């Protein structure tokens, strides 16, 4: 009897082992059921202020219901930041989990070293089928992806060209945000269904030139868009480099390229500079697309030109007109992004993929929406430095969570690997966010390091800094200036308190932390 029972137990153990083995990925030995799919939806220059899940003055006038759905069913990371606020370097940071000086892509225009380790290569080797579709912006071809289909350089909003894996280029009629999603969903249909998948769906929008889809041209015409309190910043009480910038809505926003007032519409009316770049998006439209574009902008431009020619508009009136035109177009591009996030979520629902698919929405950095009078990024000021990170992970993340910890895009690569049950190399500088997503009480970082290496684009100098929950310290090597901001008392960063006696102790602690982080991340000397 004992022998018979023992034999039955052995058979049951063998059966359980066989079932477990059958459920494991043949490449990794990890159970498939424990390996979620990952959909990473990525936009370009999306300010958190224009995502209603983050709240703020735009939430009511420009809601983003589909991105909000991810937040409501998952988490909004409230204190999410980039390591280097510029497009290419941010993308390289996400792929490598390393700061720009380590991964080698410090400035736009660099070539990404595709031979180095990336999270895509690790996931591919770990049994995932991988794809990147849309904006790439790293010059070298994607590596670590079973499939890729990318925009060349910045790409175009209208009738975009895509580069396929075979090197051929294809012009696709339509709007880039829609086309990118079309291609992403088509890949999901054709993917290898024997493996979990990692999809990077990467949009051009809402990057300059802020060209909305035709269906959204008038989406915000009847909306009163709130004006930031520092739209007319005079740049006093901070580094003298701020006043030298070339990214102001006032002095640097192009009439045709940005504000959509073409030269052929103006007649004898001469507008103040600048007007440098023409209308590349309009030029690539079909006749039918141009007709709809002109039907929208034509009457509105003529009304503005008539008012301008009357001489009754003050300087501030003109700036405010440009601000409103900028915001309506910017928010129009965001509206298409949000709609296409909804298309992806619906696909996952319709194909029974939602329960085992992590969905992330984020952008490569933030963006200035008139704050400090600006329309670009680059600076370590909050609107540029802060980036969205919204995530849904059914069964793991508590719905409507709002983690407060300081996170950075160096953390994405180790997070993806942790989600997939794969080891993170020691050389990776970020940390997995998974414990935070699970609500675990862990010892987390208290500060972040920032570095901007561009060589004067938009007249923004190289600068470096440290941010804690309450304070921010920025160093400008060229002018040897320090700025210190108390983010609780001065959330708009209008006055540096670096030399204030009351902040002497705070300044010393921040400088020590700044030097500690530079040593910890092996940062190069200032030049």
CATH number at residue 48: 3.40.720.10
Q: How far apart are CA 411 and CA 430, in angstroms?
A: 4
488 and 434: one domain? no
- Of how many residues is the chain composed? 527
Kindly state whether residues 203 and 249 are assigned to the same domain. no
Where does a domain end: 302, 326, 350?
Answer: 326
* Domain end marker among 271, 306, 326: 326
40 domain-assigned? yes
Question: Within 10 A of 22 (CB to CB), how many other CB atoms are there?
Answer: 10
Same domain, 127 and 71: yes
Is 287 in the same domain as 341? no
Query: Containing H/E element for 327?
Result: helix 315-350
Residues 271 and 200 in one domain: no
Do 195 and 315 fall into the same domain? no
Alpha carbon dihedral 422, 423, 429, 431, in 10-degree steps, equals 60
How many structural domains compose the chain?
Answer: 3
Domain extent at residue 280: 242-326
Q: What is the pTM of this model?
A: 0.93
Based on the fold, state whether residues 167 and 48 are members of the same structural domain: yes
Q: Is residue 23 part of a domain?
A: no
H helix intervals, 351-430: 382-385, 412-419
Specify if 218 maps to a domain. Answer: no
User: Has residue 526 been placed in a domain?
Assistant: no
Residue 277 neighbours by CB under 8 Å, 6+ apart: 254, 256, 257
DSSP for 427-441?
T--S--SHHHHTT--
Same domain membership, residue 401 and residue 498: no
d(CA 123, CA 138): 20
Query: In this structure, is residue 229 part of a structural domain?
Result: no
Determine the 3-state secondary structure of 285 from DSSP.
Answer: coil
Pairing relationship of beta strands 147-151 and 129-135 according to DSSP bridges:
parallel
Confirm whether 313 is domain-assigned: yes
**pLDDT recorded at residue 101:** 98
Domain C-terminal end among 326, 345, 375:
326
Q: Please report the pLDDT score of residue 13 as a whole number.
A: 42
Rounded to whole angstroms, how far apart are CA atoms 499 and 370?
Answer: 28
CATH of the domain at 493: 3.30.1120.10
Do 369 and 286 sit in the same domain of this protein? no
pLDDT confidence of residue 527:
82
Q: pLDDT value at position 112?
A: 96
Best CA proximity match to 495, nearest among 509, 505, 510, 485: 485
Same domain flag for 97 and 180: yes
Q: Are residues 317 and 274 in the same domain?
A: yes
Q: Hey, CA dihedral for 55, 394, 405, 517, is it positive or negative? A: negative
Residue 207 lies in a domain: yes
Kind plus residue range of the DSSP H or E element containing 149: strand 147-151
Q: So what's the pLDDT on residue 460?
A: 98
| pLDDT at position 14 | 38
Averages of pLDDT over runs of 10 residues in the chain (527 residues) are 42 39 41 80 98 95 98 98 98 98 96 97 98 97 98 97 97 98 98 98 98 98 96 98 98 98 97 96 98 98 98 97 98 98 98 98 98 98 98 98 98 98 98 97 97 95 98 98 98 98 98 98 95
**pLDDT on residue 3:** 41
Q: Which 3 state secondary structure label does DSSP give 233?
A: coil
Residue 478 belongs to some domain of the structure: yes
Q: From CA 269, how far away is CA 246, in angstroms rounded?
A: 25
Residue 379 and residue 246 share a domain: no
């Amino acid at each position: 009897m004992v022998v018979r029972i023992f034999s039955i137990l052995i058979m049951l153990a063998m059966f359980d082992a066989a079932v477990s083995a059958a459920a494991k990925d043949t490449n990794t030995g990890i159970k498939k059921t424990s390996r979620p799919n990952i959909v990473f939806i990525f936009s370009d220059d999306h300010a958190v202020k224009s995502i209603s899940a983050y709240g703020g003055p735009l939430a009511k006038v420009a809601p983003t219901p589909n991105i909000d759905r991810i937040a409501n069913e998952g988490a909004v990371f409230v204190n999410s930041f980039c390591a280097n606020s510029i497009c290419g370097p941010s993308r390289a940071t996400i792929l490598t989990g390393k700061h720009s000086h380590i991964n080698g892509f410090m400035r736009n225009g660099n070539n990404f070293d595709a031979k180095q380790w990336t999270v895509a290569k690790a996931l591919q080797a770990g049994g995932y089928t991988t794809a990147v579709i849309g904006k790439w912006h790293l010059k070298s071809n994607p590596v670590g992806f079973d499939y890729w289909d990318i925009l060349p350089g910045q790409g175009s909003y209208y009738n975009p060209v895509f580069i396929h894996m075979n090197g051929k280029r294809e012009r696709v009629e339509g709007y880039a945000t829609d086309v990118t999603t079309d291609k992403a969903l088509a890949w999901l249909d054709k993917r290898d269904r024997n493996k979990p998948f990692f999809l990077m769906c990467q949009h051009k929008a809402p990057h300059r030139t802020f060209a909305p889809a035709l269906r959204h041209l008038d989406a915000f015409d009847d909306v009163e868009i709130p004006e930031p309190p520092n739209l007319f910043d005079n740049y006093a009480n901070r580094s003298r480099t701020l006043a030298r910038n070339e990214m102001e809505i006032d002095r640097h926003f192009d009439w045709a390229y940005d504000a959509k007032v073409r030269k052929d519409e103006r007649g004898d009316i001469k507008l103040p500079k600048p007007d440098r770049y023409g209308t590349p998006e309009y030029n690539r439209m079909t006749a039918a697309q141009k007709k709809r574009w002109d039907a929208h902008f034509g009457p509105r431009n003529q009304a503005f030109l008539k008012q301008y020619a009357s001489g009754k508009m003050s300087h501030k009136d003109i700036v405010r007109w440009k601000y409103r035109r900028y915001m309506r177009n910017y928010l129009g591009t965001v509206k298409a992004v949000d709609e296409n996030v909804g298309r992806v979520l619906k696909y996952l629902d319709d194909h029974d993929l939602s329960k085992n698919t992590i969905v992330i929405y984020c952008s490569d950095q933030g963006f200035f929406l008139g704050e400090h009078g600006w329309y670009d990024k680059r600076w370590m000021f909050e609107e540029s430095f802060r980036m969205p990170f919204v995530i849904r992970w059914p069964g793991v993340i508590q719905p409507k969570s709002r983690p407060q910890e300081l996170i950075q895009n160096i953390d994405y690569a180790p997070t993806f690997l942790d989600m997939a049950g794969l080891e993170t190399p020691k050389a990776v500088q970020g940390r997995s966010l998974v414990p935070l997503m699970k609500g675990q009480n862990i010892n987390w970082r208290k500060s972040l390091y920032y570095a901007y290496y561009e060589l004067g684009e938009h007249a923004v100098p190289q600068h470096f800094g440290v941010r804690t929950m309450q304070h921010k310290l920025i160093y400008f090597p060229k002018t040897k200036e320090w700025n210190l901001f108390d983010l609780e008392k001065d959330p708009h960063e209008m006055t540096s308190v670096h030399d204030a006696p009351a902040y002497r102790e705070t300044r010393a602690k921040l400088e020590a932390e700044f030097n500690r982080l530079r040593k910890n991340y092996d940062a190069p000397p200032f030049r």
